[in-house]
Structure 1
Amino acid sequence: MKNPLILSVLIMTIFTQCTSQDLETVAAVDLEKYAGTWYEIASFPQRFQKGCHCTTATYTQSDKDYIIVENRCRKDSIDGKESYIKGKAFIDPGTGNAKLKVQFFWPFKGKYWIIDLADDYSYAVVGHPNRKYLWILSRTPKMDKNTYEEILGRIKEKKFDISKLQKTVQIAVD
């Protein structure tokens, strides 16, 4: 190639694709066990979640080729107005159900990779291969401190910047 700018862009594109795809997921996810409601314990702040408290995600298997995704949160306080969005998650074939593509607005789909999961499905960690998105989820609104610290260690090993994590305000449910 004679144009150094084109060559530089091509090299950067190849480098970005290689480094952003080296995130290891869990080996397999039982979608029946994964279905249900998850409470967000912590996440990397995102513009689309600004002001969210008491954030949950509910996954429901459909009889079609996707999973129904319903995200809820309370805006600006635990008593704030509920914000709700419904979408679809499509499984990447051959990934043991650990890699999904979530779509809230057609035609855009975002990568949703399950990178850590408790044997009993009591917690899950979801990330993106570019490491700019991360969510720690639990079946309960509160997570044991030791479990949380162990998860942080594994996330750090996967090269996520854990200093960006913000804990999500949740209220205890009886």
Structure 2
Amino acid sequence: MHCLFVFALIAAATADVIYKGPCPNIQPKADFDFSAYQGTWYEMARYPHAGEEGVKGKCTLIEYYMFGNNSGRVKKSHVVDNIQKYVEGNLMLAGPATMMTTLTFGGVSKNAYITVLDTDYSNYAIAYSCRYFPDGNKHQVRSWIMSRTTTLDENSRAMVDSYLNDSRILDTNKYMGNDYSPAACQASLVKSITDLQPQYY
């Protein structure tokens, strides 16, 4: 059985996760309630991607806030080399348990679609994103395991492990753990990300 707590101990590959063929069919979280999902999430583990600077991005926070009309705001931040970097943007519900985020980098906007696969709203969440490249007939996958705090309790770990073990589209070996130690989260400077990063979700 795969265990979530080992992610932080595994030296995961740093390359983006890419497979042949189109994006697979997925099952979004049934009866998704965005008002319950909004708020702050801590990224426990993720598929590596350039948007979080490979393995460098630590102490990652994602904040979702809804305006009440199926739209809202999103802010993402992480710490790299004692600098807290952040990007903000808009979001809107774009389908069952799916959010379209529009992040702005120095005046240039980038859209991305993120689907919540599973969550209990108050403890854990598993999110997924897939982008298809028809020219090369391949798709790029991203996934995040998140918590309402900087740790996951035993019951939440069991729920996440159970979902991952049953999943046919997620590979536990691709996840890399985050770091919320005081040293990793220490930041002497806060800086907005202004350079366009096309792979930042």
- Kindly indicate which of the two structures has a greater share of residues assigned to helix: 1
Highest CA radius of gyration, 1 or 2?
Answer: 1
Higher RCO by CA contacts (8 Å cutoff, separation 6 or greater): 2
Which residue in the other structure is 2:133 paired with? Answer: none
> Could you list the per-position Cα deviations for residues 17-66 of structure 1 after superposition, in whole angstroms to 9, with x for gaps in the alignment?
4xx24111101222221111110000011111021111000111136652
Deviation at 1:154, TM superposition (A): 1.4
- The equivalent position to 2:66 in structure 1, one of 54, 61, 67, is 61
Which residue in the other structure is 2:93 paired with? Answer: 91
CA RMSD of aligned residues (A): 2.5
- Listed as ranges, the matches of 1:1-174 within 5 Å are 16-17=21-22, 20-50=23-53, 51-62=56-67, 66-76=71-81, 80-93=82-95, 95=96, 98-105=97-104, 108-118=110-120, 120-129=121-130, 132-145=141-154, 147-156=156-165, 157-171=167-181
> Could you list the per-position Cα deviations for residues 119-155 of structure 1 after superposition, in whole angstroms to 9, with x for gaps in the alignment?
x531111102456100011100011255325413413
Q: How many residues align?
A: 150
CA distance in 2 between counterparts of 1:113 and 1:34 reads: 12
Q: Percent identity over the alignment?
A: 20
Unpaired runs of at least 5, structure 1:
1-14
CA distance in 1 between counterparts of 2:115 and 2:70 reads: 18
- Kindly indicate which of the two structures has a greater share of residues assigned to strand: 2
Q: Aligned partner of 1:104: which letter? A: L
Query: TM-score of the superposition, structure 1-length normalised?
Result: 0.75
Unpaired runs of at least 5, structure 2:
1-19, 131-138, 183-201
Give the 3-state SS of the residue equivalent to 2:180 in structure 1.
coil
